[in-house]
Structure 1
Amino acid sequence: MGKDAAPKNWPAAIPYLLQPSYAPHITKPQQQIVKTRPIDVVNEIPRDFPRGPSVLARIVPIADPTHPADGQSGLFAARQLPPGSLILPYYGVVHSSLLPHCRAHEKSDYDLWLDRDGALAVDAEKAGNEARFVNDYRGISARPNSEFKECWDSRRGERCMAVFVLPAGKNAGKNAGKKVGAGIGKGEEILVSYGKGFWSKRRDEHQDNGALEDNIP
């Protein structure tokens, strides 16, 4: 972690993480949950996967009035990304999702479940890596071209979330004529679906001022 390690266009006020960070309240049993590989976790970050700023994706400021993230940033492919391939892990602060610890993360747009049974989540709002800049596809594309998946990090011997290109057959891309399962082309924005829960929460928060999400699948 540090300024020199951060990728281009990284916000100076947010620590850049080269590995997950753990909230002080995380207990040893909770740490053991993260260090234990479940049988059903099949996706893996290989030992030789590069650490530090990604060579596969780059942060790009967005200056487009038609883009939902206008004035913010998005994550774009730095090269052709094959279907089903790993793009990068999702780093943030691993924390408990139980009271009272979850209160500090209730309004975060960067909080993902890590283990529901163990009540653990990872939040990249105040510290993270490039994955925190992945935008939702709504208003940008017909459908997402990537997804969040739980995986096993062989480099650290622990569970984490990561961003993967959608496998062949799931990605129709932004244009109707694009070949299904073609992966993500160089220069294309990497887009996921934040899911119904995210947009339902935003709808509830903004129902009084009319800023409703109209495209909840």
Structure 2
Amino acid sequence: MGKDAIPKNWPPTVPYLTHPSFAPHVTKTQLEALRICSPDLTASIPANFPRGPCSLVRIIPIGDPSHPAHGQAGLFAARHLEPGTLIVPYYGIVHSSLPPHNLGHEKSDYDLWLNREINVAVDAEKAGNEARFVNDYRGVRERPNAEFKLCWDARSGQQCMAVFVLPSGKNAPTKAKAGAGAGGIAKGAEILVSYGKGFWSKRMEENEALAE
């Protein structure tokens, strides 16, 4: 893969994915379940959505000392993004969440549920795309301006996690570092989601265990 096919500021030690990568242990039954377009999947990735580096976003190092991810990187809007817009799919290693296959993933900060019913998750720690750089809103904004959403990928005919701009009304203006109001995400603003209470509860438990 040439340099032009990898986003600027992409870490050289992490393989860049243009589609999900499946762990060898993922079963035929799990694969078949992922290829079912459930009526619950109200969002989708259209067949003409391009693969490779996404023109809607930029990976930018965080230089602000007050930012929780200072010294790392975040994902920023390269143009104004309208409410409800598909930003970028979330690619990584699709794996079983059951023991022993969950070992090596349970402490990852990049591991998301893909389909709880069939115990399948996707982890972008060791391989992924731009979506792995989406940070949590806490300490940056009063609330998120984007969300992770399970959707149907019309290009590959399977379920996929992706990042979407929050709909109008859910992305309210904030007093500081807003970057955008209810009208989507402004050009140059950081794309921020909520990692969820489960993520932070687990991290708190790990920190307490280390302190003992």
Counterpart CA distance in 2 for 1:110 and 1:60 is 18
Q: Which amino acid aligns with 2:83?
A: P
Q: Which amino acid aligns with 2:29?
A: P
TM-score by length of 1: 0.92
How many residue pairs were aligned?
Answer: 210
Q: Which amino acid aligns with 1:183?
A: G
What CA deviation, in whole Å up to 9, does each residue of 1:39-67 have, x standing for no partner? 11010001111111000011000111100
RMSD: 1.7
Counterpart CA distance in 1 for 2:206 and 2:37 is 36
Structure-1 residue corresponding to 2:201: 200
Structure-1 residue corresponding to 2:79: 79
- Give the secondary-structure state (helix, strand or coil) at the position aligned to 1:202: helix
Structure-1 residue corresponding to 2:93: 93
* Distance change >3 Å, CA 203–CA 19, structure 1 → 2: same
Kept in 1, the 8 Å contact 2:174–2:181? The answer is: no
State the identity as a percent. 65
Counterpart CA distance in 1 for 2:190 and 2:37 is 31
Structure-1 residue corresponding to 2:186: 185
Kept in 1, the 8 Å contact 2:179–2:188? The answer is: no
Q: Which runs of 5+ in 2 are unaligned?
A: none
- Give the secondary-structure state (helix, strand or coil) at the position aligned to 1:33: helix
Counterpart CA distance in 2 for 1:14 and 1:118 is 27
1:159 aligns with 2:165: no
Kept in 1, the 8 Å contact 2:146–2:164? The answer is: yes
- Give the secondary-structure state (helix, strand or coil) at the position aligned to 1:207: helix
* Distance change >3 Å, CA 61–CA 155, structure 1 → 2: same
- Give the secondary-structure state (helix, strand or coil) at the position aligned to 2:10: coil
Kept in 1, the 8 Å contact 2:60–2:73? The answer is: yes
TM-score by length of 2: 0.94
* Distance change >3 Å, CA 104–CA 3, structure 1 → 2: farther
Q: Which amino acid aligns with 1:181?
A: A
* Distance change >3 Å, CA 123–CA 54, structure 1 → 2: same
Tell me by how many angstroms 1:34 deviates: 1.1
